Each structure stands twice: as structure tokens, then as C-alpha cells.
Amino acid sequence: MSPVVPNPSVPSTDPPVRVVCVVFHPGDELATFARTLTTASAHPVDLVIVDNGTDQSVSRAVADEFGARLLVTGANLGYGGAVNAGAAACASPWLLVANSDLEWEPGSLDVLVAAASVDARTGSAGPALLNPDGTVYPSARALPSLTQGAGHALFVRVWPGNPWTRRYRAEQEAAGQQRAAGWLSGACLLVRREAFEAVGGFDDAYFMFFEDVDLGERLGRAGWTNLYVPQARVTHVGGTSWRARPARMISAHHASAARYVGRRYPRWYQWPVRKAAALGLRLRERSELRAAS
């Protein structure tokens, strides 16, 4: 599929794209996010900073400098819950969900919106997420099967080249072409508001992690396409909000993984599957907590 390039000289008649950026005690990266966002589109955006933390000094200063709206949740709602709060009463056809540790390439948001607008059944679109060294992070993947997901989860740390991980990342962005994916990373995700509302938004029972996998699966089941758009490029620094608190995030990741398995295999006769997965995740969580400490 050929890349879709917007014409910035054509004014947009739609309400500005709602950009929801969730933060928790952010640092300097939030100002970088907001500054580079001003170059990502030729049109105004509606930036909403949703602060899950207890100190809003940084987020308030950035909101004031860049004309954003600040939403203080009053409690840590987690990622999906905070996005849902920031998306409330959105009038734009498009909702952009983003981490604060992103740096936008000029025009990247316009390219993403233009590509997603071609097909009315595109429910979400994701850009190429670049690591700080310029390599491409695998942000557009197939939905994990139980065997593949378990093999990847158990062996990726000690055997990175295992066959389950290779298959899990088989649809990585190396091809450099627009294509459908099972799910797209929630670190930077454009969602059609109609589709987002139709499936009920993010499941806020996922505190962090797997809320994007769950959303991608529900969009797909409802007949929407998750579109990977590598012509739009964004650099993701990664982990700035929780790098100093890895233990809590390790536990949150494994709790979300267990919830995802339980939701995907809910029938009574699948109880052994749920129990085996829960046991494996507990063992892996303990191992990672020991390593982190």
C-alpha cells in the first residue's frame, strides 16, 4: 500500500484531534512531547493532559505554556481509566492516545490521520515507534495465542531467540508497509471516536499493560481494522514514568496478563488453562521481582 501524504494547505473542517496524554509525576519529557506535537500537524490539536499523580506542578506548567487542558484525576486511575476520562465528551472524529515520553516527527500526526481516513472501517491506526537509537520497536503485532503467549512470556528473558517470541514478533514492522494488525501499541494510538465508543473504550480494570491488546482484540471482533502506518514516525523514549519504580510495574504487568488470559478463556472447561497460566505468571513475576531488587 502506498503511503498516504496529507496536503497541509487544505484546512480541516472537523473539530481538532483530541490528544490524550496520561502522566504520573512527569519530568522534562512532557514539555518535549508538547513542543514536538506542535510540529506533528498543520492543524490545531486539542491536547488534554490527564495527571494521575499528586503533584501537578510540571503538568500544569506545560499545559499553560502550550495551551493544553489539564485534567487532575484525584487518584491513580491507571492508563486505560485515565484515557477514558480524557476522552469524555470528545467531539472530534479522532482520538489520539499517547505516552508523555514521545517525540513527534514533523507532519507525523497528519500522515497518521490521513491514512486512517481512507477506509471508514479503520478503527485504530498506529505509527512506527522508534527507539532512541533509531531502531523500530515492534508496536504492531498479532494477537497472542495461549501457547505462543506463554512461551514468549516464560522464555523471552533467558532465551530471546526462542521460537514463540520469534512468531510473536513475526509481523514486526520490517516490511515497512501499511497493513492490518491484531493490536497496536497504546503508547501512541489513533482511534476513531465512533469505534472507541462502540466498544466501550479501554477496559479500565487493566491498571497498566494489556489494555491495548484487549482494545485491539475487541475492535477486531466488532469488525474494525487496526492499521499500522509506518510512514508516520514517532520516537518513544520508554518507561520514564516508572523506571524508578520497576517492582510495581512488574506486578501490574503480570496482573494484567492474568486478566487477559482469564477474559479470553472464560469457560468452565478452560479452568485448567487459567490456573496453569496464573501459576506460570506468578513464577515469572517472582523471578523478575528478584532480578529487579
For 20, what's the count of Cα atoms within 13 Å in the CB-facing half-sphere? 27
Rounded CA-CA distance 143/163 in Å is 16
Task: Write down the pTM of the prediction.
Answer: 0.79
**Which cell numbers in the block locate residue 77?**
486511575
- What would the pLDDT profile of 68-101 be if each residue is shown by its tens digit? 999 999 999 989 999 999 999 999 999 999 999 9
For 18, what's the count of Cα atoms within 13 Å in the CB-facing half-sphere? 23
Q: What pLDDT sits at residue 177?
A: 85
Rounded CA-CA distance 198/228 in Å is 21
Rounded CA-CA distance 195/124 in Å is 8
- What would the pLDDT profile of 210-232 be if each residue is shown by its tens digit? 799 889 999 999 999 999 999 99
Query: For residue 232, what are the contacts with CB-CB under 8 A and spacing of at least 6?
Result: 105, 108, 109, 111, 112, 115, 125, 127, 128
- Element spanning 128, H or E: strand 122-130
Segments in the chain below pLDDT 70: 1-13, 145-159, 162, 164-165, 167-175, 239-262, 265-266, 269-289, 291-293
CA 23 to chain centre: 13
What does the DSSP 8-state code read for residue 157?
Answer: T
Q: What pLDDT sits at residue 292?
A: 64
Q: What pLDDT sits at residue 17?
A: 97
Q: What pLDDT sits at residue 143?
A: 80
Rounded CA-CA distance 157/250 in Å is 13
